[in-house]
Chains A and B, each alone.
Chain A
Amino acid sequence: MWRQPRYRVVATALAIVLASLLVTGTVSQTSRAQNMTTLTFLGPDFDEWVAFVKVANEIGKPMGIQLKPEYLPWDNVFQKALIDSKSGVRTWDYVYIYNTWVPGLSAAKAVIPIDDFLSSPGATEAVQPKDFISLTTQGLQFNGKLWAMPMLAAPYMMGYRTDVFADPTEKKAFQAKYGYALGVPQTYKQLMDTAQFFTRKAGQTLMGKPLDQDFYGLVMANKSGGFMFHRFEHILVAFGADLIYDPKTMQPTANSPQSLAAVKYYVGLHKYMQPGTETVTGGGAERVMAAGRGAIAMDALDNMLSVLPVAKLSKVVGKIGYAMLPTQVPSRPHANVADANGLAIYALTQHRAEAFKLATAVLSTQGTKQVMKEYPALIPMRASVIRDPEVRTNYGNVFNAMNTFLNGKPYTAFIPPLKEWVQAQDLYEQALSAAMSGQQTPEDALSGAQAKVTDLFKRQGYIK
């Protein structure tokens, strides 16, 4: 029956239709009806990126560009971007990038460096690279190139209850117990004392009034998958340790004396954190602080600013001050690991020019201010935005906190340029978690991490 011409005609026609559908479906995402170019964004389900997408669509409309997001849990974005790029998936135009992912994504050639677009004076004019605050954007650089348009800095700071710290009863009791005046902790010893002092059970008093719920000295996020390490790494650096290995010799130093001291300290500090800290992200931890149940939060500034001053979410509006992280080793005052979030252009994008054009427009000075209207907790990475009088007036919290941070001149460490950084970090975090949960002693846990990181480095040929 296949020999009959009409069947052959029908079959051929069907094949042509199917082939055309396949070709048009994969090659272009330009909508003919609206004459719009559709760009796609792979990013985390965070408020700031929802705001970014909204503003991008507003700014993109007159340009004939629209942006469609695909939101995933934060820690899955890295995996998906890597695997999709290696599998030849051409779906994405933009990929959210976190500073610790830069070495991995750039080594895998999953994203295009922004520098590659700066061949013309017009492009450089649009990006304004000199306007970026280098202390915050350096984390997005690797091998001398900038790998993403900087969007949001996330310096780690302490948010503390001003009313609790100023209370005369508490001041007196603290002085009597520890022999020095209660204040925002300047050293990690003071942080431990303060966290211990304010950890109270329901029924005990705080500021002279009985508590109806437990109150916690320190509120932190310690969920595995990066959240725990991103909080701990500041303490690791503050204690004088390397970030897992010595970049000069490539020797792992996970179990160095400084690293061990930092882990032991963190295990001790864990006793004064809110219960369930091991299962929450920054947003979850800040909800506990916002409920008025913590004295100090140690978190990314934007996490705190997105919850604590927001009246509909917080019971502590107007009662939070922001301060630099404490100091341990004097040569590393207020040690801090640079934390930056950016918008990278996916290596297999089919809309390079449009992607660059929209990114520069949305993350320009004016565009950033527009994003801040949608997400007031945005910590901008452009000096022009921080200096902007409108920002000073309308976003006082952001301005003051950033001013404190920049004027405090913290010792800032940067994630080392290791393409296997995420793996190394995961191995260390697992050891830290084992020590915190009591599954292993800090010594055993770190020895295990040292062996695993050494094995990883040997397999990659960094050491013998």
Chain B
Amino acid sequence: MGMKWAALGSGRVYFWIMTVPAVVYVVAWRLGPAVYTLWLGLNQYNIVYDAAPRWNHFANYTLLLRDGALRQSIGLSGEFAVIATAAEVVIGLGAAWFLDTDPPGRNLLLGVFLLPMIMAPVVVGTAWGTLFDRTVGYIPYALQLLHLPQPQWLATPGTAMFALLIADAWEWAPLVALLLFAALQAIPREHFEAARVDGASGWQLFRRIILPQITGMILVAAGLRLMDAFLELDKVIIMTGGGPGSSTQFVSMFVYKQAFQFYELGYASAVITLLLAALGVAYWLYLRSYGRALGAANP
């Protein structure tokens, strides 16, 4: 029930006192930089060598349309995001299902399983970078002991991408598991009992009872992870630096290089603006399909 402005009376002062910090925060720390980025995207500005930004007649946007490296980066980010999300949903669902069976020490297991998620991404990158390291890493060492082939994990395009996917799945599958575990816990147990009485198999139980009731949460988890993985940066910087060559130069790494290695803030801002617009559209489509999926699951 809304409160009318006039009804606040002398409380209006307190209303402003309470509201202003939040408004200042949003404007100064969120809206301000976003507007500045939009404006910078319309200017030539090398932070080191240009005295000040100067209007460059949409040259940054013309450049990004014909920038092959940017297109490649977007493609790689998309590939990484889709595969990582799929892997995390599958692993997360399996883990959630296992935890839902109430195994002994479930709370402890859950706590341990969630640990990677609360680590700083830089720590995750460093840990996995070391594990894959050909000189000191445990993974090549284990493969050597087992007399298995020893790929150059971070030195060939395919394996470098695979290593990043493993690290990302390790870090974020627990989040998916946590969300899906909550959704599984919310399913009334009577549904399972009734289905079992009717002779439903495990697969039928999953297909007919569980999946329809957790579809919404799967979409939430997948949507969150897809957008986050698309913008992956920390682990890339630590583990591969975007290489070998440009094989793991995802779009965030591309922007990072433009901004902080080439100091082309104008061009980097234009790319960020483009990404923001693209992700905005993707998010809108996601919300629409999420609504439809929920509608279908709960007619």
Interface residues of A (CB under 8 A from B): 79, 82-83, 86, 104, 107-108, 223-225, 274-280, 284, 287-288, 419, 422-423, 426, 430-431, 433-440, 445, 452
Contact B154–A439 (Cβ < 8 Å): no
Please pick, from B47, B134, B246, the residue contacting A430 in the complex, using a CB distance under 8 A. Answer: B246
Query: Which residues of the other chain, B, contact A431 by a CB distance below 8 angstroms?
Result: 245
Query: Which residues of the other chain, B, contact A279 by a CB distance below 8 angstroms?
Result: 129, 133-134, 154-155
**20 other contacts beyond A278-B244, A419-B49, with CB at 8 A cut-off?**
A79-B261, A83-B47, A83-B260, A86-B47, A86-B48, A224-B241, A274-B134, A275-B140, A276-B140, A279-B133, A279-B134, A284-B135, A426-B262, A433-B245, A434-B246, A437-B243, A437-B247, A438-B157, A439-B247, A452-B69
Please pick, from A274, A275, A277, the residue contacting B150 in the complex, using a CB distance under 8 A. Answer: A275
Contact A225–B241 (Cβ < 8 Å): yes
Shortest Cβ distance from B44 into A: residue: A459
Query: Which residues of the other chain, A, contact B133 by a CB distance below 8 angstroms?
Result: 276, 279
Query: Which residues of the other chain, A, contact B48 by a CB distance below 8 angstroms?
Result: 82-83, 86, 104, 107-108
Contact A436–B135 (Cβ < 8 Å): no
* A and B contact pairs by CB, cutoff 8 A, 12 listed: A79-B260, A107-B48, A108-B49, A224-B242, A274-B134, A275-B152, A275-B155, A430-B245, A434-B244, A434-B247, A438-B156, A438-B157
Shortest Cβ distance from B244 into A: residue: A437
Contact A440–B261 (Cβ < 8 Å): no
The winner among A86, A274, A276, A426 for most chain B CB atoms within 10 A is: A276
Query: Which residues of the other chain, A, contact B242 by a CB distance below 8 angstroms?
Result: 224, 430
Shortest Cβ distance from A104 into B: residue: B48
Q: Does B263 contact A (CB under 8 A)?
A: yes
Query: Which residues of the other chain, B, contact A423 by a CB distance below 8 angstroms?
Result: 261-262
Q: With A278-B152, A287-B135, A437-B157 in contact, is A445–B244 under 8 Å at CB?
A: no
A223 to B129, CA, bound (A): 13
A225 to B260, CA, bound (A): 13
* Number of residues from B at the complex interface, CB < 8 A: 27
Contact A440–B245 (Cβ < 8 Å): yes
A274 to B133, CA, bound (A): 12
Shortest Cβ distance from A276 into B: residue: B134
Query: Which residues of the other chain, B, contact A440 by a CB distance below 8 angstroms?
Result: 245
Contact A276–B245 (Cβ < 8 Å): no
Shortest Cβ distance from B241 into A: residue: A224
A276 to B134, CA, bound (A): 5
Contact B245–A434 (Cβ < 8 Å): yes
Query: Which residues of the other chain, A, contact B69 by a CB distance below 8 angstroms?
Result: 452
Contact A275–B244 (Cβ < 8 Å): no
Shortest Cβ distance from A429 into B: residue: B243
A288 to B134, CA, bound (A): 11
Please pick, from B47, B246, B261, B262, the residue contacting A439 in the complex, using a CB distance under 8 A. Answer: B246
Shortest Cβ distance from A438 into B: residue: B156
A284 to B129, CA, bound (A): 14
Please pick, from A107, A276, A439, the residue contacting B135 in the complex, using a CB distance under 8 A. Answer: A276
Query: Which residues of the other chain, B, contact A288 by a CB distance below 8 angstroms?
Result: 135
Q: Which 6 A-B pairs have the closest CB atoms?
A: A276-B134, A434-B245, A437-B244, A439-B245, A278-B155, A108-B48
Query: Which residues of the other chain, A, contact B262 by a CB distance below 8 angstroms?
Result: 423, 426
CB B261 to nearest CB in A, in angstroms, measures: 6
Shortest Cβ distance from A278 into B: residue: B155
Shortest Cβ distance from B48 into A: residue: A108
Please pick, from B140, B157, B261, the residue contacting A426 in the complex, using a CB distance under 8 A. Answer: B261
CB B270 to nearest CB in A, in angstroms, measures: 14
Contact B134–A275 (Cβ < 8 Å): yes
User: What string of 1s and 0s marks CB contacts (under 8 Å) between B34-63 and chain A?
Assistant: 000000000000011100000000000000
Q: With A419-B49, A437-B155 in contact, is A82–B245 under 8 Å at CB?
A: no
Contact A276–B152 (Cβ < 8 Å): yes
Contact A430–B243 (Cβ < 8 Å): yes
Shortest Cβ distance from A85 into B: residue: B48
CB B257 to nearest CB in A, in angstroms, measures: 8
CB A379 to nearest CB in B, in angstroms, measures: 26
A154 to B260, CA, bound (A): 27
A192 to B244, CA, bound (A): 23
Query: Which residues of the other chain, B, contact A280 by a CB distance below 8 angstroms?
Result: 135
A108 to B49, CA, bound (A): 6
